Amino acid sequence: MSPPPPSKVIAVHLNYRSRAEQRGRVPEEPSYFLKPPSSISGDGDPIVRPRGTELLVFEAEIAVVIGRRARNVTPAEGLGCIGWYAPANDVGLYDMRAADRGSNLMAKGQDGYTPIGPVVAAEGIDPASLTLRARVNGEVVQEDSSANLLFDFGLLVADLSRFVTLEPGDVILTGTPAGSRPMQPGDVVEVELEGHSKVSNPVVESDSPLASFGAQPRVSAKTRAEAIGAGAPRAVTLSADAIEALNTVSTATLTVQLRRHGIANTFVRGLRPTRPGMRMLGYAHTLRYVPLREDVLKADRAELNAQKRAVETIGPGEVLVMDAREQPFAGTIGDILAARVLARGGTGIVTDGGMRDSPAVAQLEIPAWYQQPHAATLGLIHYPLEVNVPIACGGTFVVPGDVMVGDAEGVIVLPAALAERVAHDAVEQESRESFALERVQAGESIRGIYPLSDARRADYEAWKAGQ
């Protein structure tokens, strides 16, 4: 028996722990938006990206299909009102989010923006152990379990039924895990409900341009960061000039500049680099370890623990920063997870604990800093607890989104609000120091040139103009 056509499609905004950690907020209750039934498509149907847009994003979801009318039901009764499950793709065009003002109609309600695979009967399925997986061109890009939902299926049905009558055939899209990304024309996106069903769709470019009337596509730095899954929206995004500066100046120079702003404890202590010749620059994506307690470890049945979630939620331009309590007596990351950080676009790894497989990690094209090698796994003394929370790393306070800079000397934490100004001031400081070094090597005294005096400023400006 197949479900009747839906009278409505309801989508949950945020419902997987991994996605909530990536977004930097955990909701206390579910919230929803509507998609038109005309957005539904099937296996093989194309997903169309309008001309002039760039941020067409896939979101793998488990679709709950109502089998029995639900109105004012309890969560237990709500679970019994589910007739079918199916894999679904809650496609979104982030270029149009500004036009929606929260409605998601233009961003997510377009024709074909809800591909749904063949349904499977709810009878005999454990709703708490469904594995959801997305692939782009054959590569796994999202994977999570319904065990990691913030709000289970029965609760969603009951919550909605307080105000809305759910009819047989109605669809609830139950949220996406971390890992969604923009798609490109030519890509093939597959969403699988493991062991049950899958839906696969090609991405194509529209044949005709978007009409000039009405709202037009618009992309901001915040929108782009959200579309590429780069963690919680950042308070600060570095300018191109600041990025160029921070890829050049030393961590020693940066400590001086931060001290001038009254911040002294910014250098992460006790770490060594795997690749002393590689620099690092990126935004902090944090992971917190706590002391191991065996009963807690045994009770954790999540498919991905916090360590693996941290790896699977890191975004391009981010640095994985770990609080291992400055305990070096077990590894906190090894070569396979480090390679995954690199594959997801991470720009560095920092841990104040031990590192497994350190020779192999040193061969990867990603810089990493750690306290000392240790072959034992984290299960010896550590338990990974939280992702993207404020942490301590090497005696230094790190907030998600802080700017991390690393060189052969070590790693420094730049508070996000100061990073832009510090970057520019550091370039000027190093210029003055280059002048001073040149004069000292020529035999001059440091008097008047280190630090630079007013009497020698004209000499410095003339030297600078000639560089």
| CATH topology (fold) of 9-227 | Fumarylacetoacetate hydrolase; domain 2 (3.90.850)
Left if phi > 0, otherwise alpha if psi is -120 to 50, otherwise beta: which for 227? Answer: alpha
Q: Which two tokens stand for residue 291?
A: 């002391």
387: burial class by Cβ within 10 Å (0-12, 13-18, 19+)?
A: buried
**192 near 87, Cβ under 8 Å?**
yes
Residue ranges, CATH 3.90.850.10, the chain: 9-227
Neighbours of 40 (CB within 10 A): 20
Beta strands in 139-279 (DSSP E): 139-145, 171-173, 182-183, 188-193, 197-205, 267-268, 272-273
Which CATH number applies to 264-414: 3.40.50.11540, 3.40.1280.10, 3.40.50.920, 3.50.30.40? Answer: 3.50.30.40
Element (H, E) at 464: helix 457-465
Residue that has been written with the tokens 């307690």 in this structure: 293
- Long-range contacts of the stretch 68-71 (C-beta < 8 A, 24+): 68/168, 69/165, 69/166, 69/167, 69/168, 70/157, 70/158, 70/160, 70/161, 70/165, 70/166, 71/161, 71/165, 71/166
Judging by DSSP bridges, how do beta strands 372-373 and 354-355 pair with one another?
parallel
- From first to last of its 467 residues, what are the pLDDT tens digits of the chain? 789 999 999 999 999 988 887 777 789 999 999 999 999 999 999 999 999 999 999 999 999 999 999 999 999 999 999 999 999 999 999 999 999 888 899 999 999 999 999 999 999 999 999 999 999 999 888 889 999 999 999 999 999 999 999 999 999 999 999 889 899 999 999 999 999 999 999 999 999 899 999 999 998 767 877 787 655 555 567 888 999 999 999 999 999 999 989 999 999 999 999 999 999 999 999 999 999 988 887 777 666 788 988 998 888 899 999 999 999 999 999 999 999 999 989 999 999 999 999 999 999 999 999 999 999 987 889 999 888 889 999 999 998 889 999 999 999 999 988 999 999 898 888 888 888 888 899 998 999 888 888 888 888 888 888 88
Give the ranges where 34-73 is alpha helix by DSSP (H).
Answer: none
Residue ranges, CATH 3.50.30.40, the chain: 264-414
Distance between CA atoms of 193 and 148, rounded to whole angstroms? 15
